[in-house]
Amino acid sequence: MSDKVTKISIIGGYGKMGRWLARFLAKEGLQVTIAGRSLQKLEEAARELSCRAAPLEEAVKQAQVIIISVPIGSLEDVVREIAPHTRPGQYVFDIASVKQRPVEIMHKYLSGCRILGTHPMFGPGAESLQGQRFVFTPVGDEEGSLAEQLRRQLESRGAKVTIMSPPEHDQLMGMVLGLPHFIALVSADTLLSLNSLKEAGEVSGTSFHLLLTLAEAVLSEDPDFYSSLQMSLPDMAGIEELFREKTGYWLNLVREHDGEHFAQRMRYLREQFEREDPDFSAAYRNLYRLAD
């Protein structure tokens, strides 16, 4: 960034990620202003976060950097609303968990601004930047150099930044977020329908503990946010249809009592994972052998 940045405004600043950002940026010594629709929530959050609160127009006009931290479904309305108050050269970043559509929206309405699509791969419970991952999705050379510049700043504070195109990001997020959430919800639904959750917990080992941890972690999150991810990630239904096909394949092996092919397929998958996943280490297998 060409000028030294001191003034940052966060739109959606009293939301979960908005608060996290406000705290983090204030600790970095920046002058943080939060903006949002409810005056009461805004004033309460500003008191709690020791930052400034301002009406949207003022927050946008006085900032060098604007961060948009609103739900995916509200992003277009918010970008349209802030657009008349922005000025050429101002930096605008969004943090939405999908990137293609939000980046298109920012390009459409904020053509004079220096925009960058960003996705923090952690939630509002993160205690510091150490070890946290971000994905940046620049379009074109100018956004590419901005992404590199920000990458250096975040990596010097212990974070890990990956840069890719918005479609590539969204395709990977289908696998990284959408599919695990889907499996967690289907598992939770199945476990509950089996009517013995409490009894199973009393005799469970590692497999059940891992499944329960995934299911309960997802169930604890914001249903509107998780729903918006399923609805906005491209081809989520295609990925989940593939999962259904695979479920059908494995179910058939069980239904047919075809133990030989079941074990054969499992061996084949293990070999593939050992080749493809550097973390597929003996430690994981030992954990299973010891605990289940």
User: Which positions lie near ligand NAP, rule CB under 6 A?
Assistant: 12, 14-18, 36-38, 41, 69-72, 74, 77-78, 95-97, 120, 123-124, 225
Q: What is the DSSP letter of 111?
A: T
Residue 100 one-letter amino acid? Q
Helix axes 166-173, 100-109, angle to 10 degrees: 150
**Shortest distance in whole angstroms from residue 144 CB to ligand NAP:** 22
Nearer to ligand NAP, 74 or 162 (CB): 74
Q: Which is nearer to ligand NAP, 14 or 93 (CB)?
A: 14
133 vs 244, beta carbon nearer ligand NAP:
133
Buried b (16+ CB within 10 A) or exposed e, 122-156: beeebeebeebebbbbbbeeebeebbeebbeebee
Lookup result for tokens 């009461």 = 40
178, 232 contact by CB (below 8 A): no
Tell which residue, 106, 137, 107, has the closest CA to residue 120.
137
State the minimum distance, in angstroms, from the CB of residue 291 to ligand NAP: 30
The least CB distance from residue 224 to ligand NAP, in Å, is 7
CB of 131 to ligand NAP, least distance (A): 16
Residues in Cβ contact with 204 at an 8 Å cutoff, skipping those fewer than 6 apart: 212
* Burial of residue 260 (number of CB atoms within 10 Å: 0-12, 13-18, 19+): exposed
Q: Scanning the structure block, which residue is given the tokens 């550097």?
A: 278
**Burial of 169 by CB count in 10 Å (0-12 exposed, 13-18 middle, 19+ buried)?**
buried
> Which is closer to ligand NAP, CB of 163 or CB of 253?
163
Q: Least distance from C-beta 216 to ligand NAP, angstroms? A: 16
Smallest gap from Cβ 16 to ligand NAP, in A, equals: 4
Q: Please, which residue, 33 or 97, has the CB nearer to ligand NAP?
A: 97
C-beta closer to ligand NAP: residue 76 or 168: 76
Q: 3-state class of 160 per DSSP?
A: strand
Q: Choose between 15 and 138: whose C-beta lies nearer to ligand NAP.
A: 15
Cα(56)–Cα(76) distance, rounded to whole angstroms?
Answer: 15
Query: Least distance from C-beta 47 to ligand NAP, angstroms?
Result: 15
Output the residue with the shortest Cβ distance to ligand NAP: 15
